[in-house]
Amino acid sequence: MANIFKNSITGSIGTTGVTVYQSPVATSTTVIGVSVANVNTQNISVSVMMRDASLNNTVYVVKDSLILPGSANVLDSAIAFAIALG
């Protein structure tokens, strides 16, 4: 099976949930990494969630992670997770 690599970049997300990537129908997707940066001058708290719309279920990959000003949190291949929608 062929591998197709994609980037999904979203900026200035704010304080409400934002869909950064949605797996196409009848496709399995593996998320290899997630990077979240703080470009503000204050600390921020970040949560990363996966949502299965077909089951109306949401789970946290990271919840309330503190990111200092000018810093970033990176979730890399050590925690790769799969998204399968059908």
Q: Which tens digits make up the pLDDT trace of 53-75?
A: 777 888 888 899 999 999 998 88
**pTM tops 0.85, yes or no:** no
Is-contact 60 48, C-beta < 8 A?
yes
What gap in Å lies between CA 59 and CA 48, rounded to an integer?
Answer: 9
Cβ partners under 8 Å of residue 33, min gap 6: 74, 75, 76, 77, 80
Rounded to 5, what percent of the chain is helix, strand, coil? 5, 45, 50
The predicted-structure confidence for 9-50, as pLDDT tens digits, reads as follows 888 888 888 888 888 887 777 888 889 999 999 999 999 888
Of the candidates 51, 48, 29, 23, the residue with the CA atom closest to the CA atom of residue 37:
48
